[in-house]
């Protein structure tokens, strides 16, 4: 089981954030107080989350969550963090679909109150499949569930993607949405390695994409972007809130599906590498493709391409995280930068076209 410390997620003082939040809240809701302000253990590195309650006579006590853009001086994971776009995406998804997304309350684009832009939304209580230790490890609520309960959760989750892709108004196509998406990832990679060693493995992944480009990209849809169960709050085994829309984009449906498939495989492969069985019958690629087709009538295609693309995108993020750890002195730079990517073996197998043969 991994024992390495988790990379730091913030350089900010939580008590100072709480004090400044209380001061700001009074400008939006006179007489209100922010109470029980806390930082969740699962706080991310691309942005920060604060949980708090609003104490005010009208309305009564309200549970809230605040998404705060990363400190620009703290070696951020992404070059740009557009809080307005996230706020408006959450609002528009709530308007146009039946997805359970948190209700957004306020957007603050002035960095002065908390040091960076942020937005506030209502907090939805429930349980989330953990990343640390992963839900594929023994002992957590999802691993301890029955096969029938996990099957119910899986189907309900794929149905979320189906409803998002089918219900959200289709964007007008302007050229290749897939090409635009991939080029944005190339630009992100170039930013990650600026002044740092490049990754031959990642670059071979981009070359593989060009050699296997889909003949028919299909009509673009709104993609959630970070489509995985670790970004969903569940009430029992039913989705209660779909979170983390920072990577939402217009792209083929399979971009979301590939991400769902791959991110589960990332945790499953990691679990097996540490001697556990994991959840081999859960979120299998063939089952996801089947369930999505059943809910939409659209049969996913070119999934080798889209799952490799997901692994490649994840590799770029992980390389940035590793360089951030080096920046903060949490680790040292290896001779081979590819080894900074935890799943470098998986990505290499995908590039060599021999990853999916044993298990679809």
Q: Respond yes or no: is residue 287 known to be catalytic.
A: no
Cβ atoms of 193 and 319 closer than 8 Å = yes
The structure tokens listed for 210 are: 């060009």
The structure tokens listed for 92 are: 């528009």
Question: Alpha-carbon distance 315 to 198, whole Å?
Answer: 12
Determine how β-strand 238-242 pairs with β-strand 221-223: unpaired
Cβ atoms of 331 and 324 closer than 8 Å = no
Backbone angles phi, psi at 16, to 5 degrees: -65, -40
Cβ atoms of 256 and 124 closer than 8 Å = no
The structure tokens listed for 350 are: 């995908």
Q: What is the CA radius of gyration of the chain?
A: 20
Cβ atoms of 237 and 152 closer than 8 Å = yes
Q: Is cis: bond before 248, omega within 30 of 0?
A: no
Neighbours of 200 (CB within 10 A): 11
Residue 12 CB-half CA count within 13 A? 27
Alpha helical stretches, state H, the chain: 14-28, 83-96, 147-167, 177-192, 200-211, 253-273, 285-296, 303-327, 344-351
Choose the catalytic residue: 226, 244, 302, 338. Answer: 226
**What are the catalytic residues?**
226
């Amino acid at each position: 089981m991994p024992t390495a410390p988790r990379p730091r997620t913030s350089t900010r003082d939580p008590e100072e954030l709480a004090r400044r939040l209380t001061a700001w809240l009074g400008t939006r809701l006179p007489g209100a107080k922010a109470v029980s302000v806390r930082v969740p253990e699962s706080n991310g590195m691309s942005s920060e989350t604060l949980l708090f309650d609003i104490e005010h006579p009208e309305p009564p006590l309200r549970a809230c969550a605040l998404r705060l853009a990363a400190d620009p001086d703290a070696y951020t994971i992404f070059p740009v963090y557009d809080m307005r776009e996230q706020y408006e995406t959450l609002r528009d998804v709530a308007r146009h679909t039946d997805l359970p997304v948190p209700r957004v309350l306020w957007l603050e684009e002035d960095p002065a109150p908390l040091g960076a832009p942020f937005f506030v939304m209502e907090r939805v209580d429930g349980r989330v499949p953990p990343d640390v230790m992963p839900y594929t490890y023994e002992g957590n609520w999802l691993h301890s569930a029955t096969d029938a309960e996990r099957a119910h959760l899986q189907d309900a989750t794929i149905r979320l993607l189906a409803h998002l892709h089918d219900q959200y108004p289709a964007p007008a196509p302007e050229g290749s949405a897939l090409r635009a998406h991939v080029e944005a990832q190339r630009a992100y990679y170039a930013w990650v390695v600026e002044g740092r060693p490049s990754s031959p493995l990642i670059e071979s992944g981009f070359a593989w994409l060009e050699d296997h480009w889909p003949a028919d990209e299909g009509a673009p849809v709104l993609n959630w972007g970070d489509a995985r169960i670790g970004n969903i709050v569940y009430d029992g085994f039913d989705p209660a809130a779909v979170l983390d829309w920072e990577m939402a984009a217009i792209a083929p449906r399979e971009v979301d599906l590939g991400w769902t498939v791959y991110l589960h495989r990332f945790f499953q492969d990691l679990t097996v590498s540490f001697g556990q069985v994991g959840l081999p019958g859960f979120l299998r690629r063939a089952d996801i493709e089947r369930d999505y087709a059943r809910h939409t009538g659209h049969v996913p295609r070119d999934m080798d391409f889209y799952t490799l693309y997901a692994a490649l995108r994840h590799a770029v993020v992980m390389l940035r995280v590793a360089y951030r750890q080096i920046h903060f002195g949490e680790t040292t730079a290896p001779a081979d930068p590819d080894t900074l990517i935890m799943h470098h073996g998986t990505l290499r197998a995908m590039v060599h076209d021999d990853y999916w043969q044993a298990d679809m």
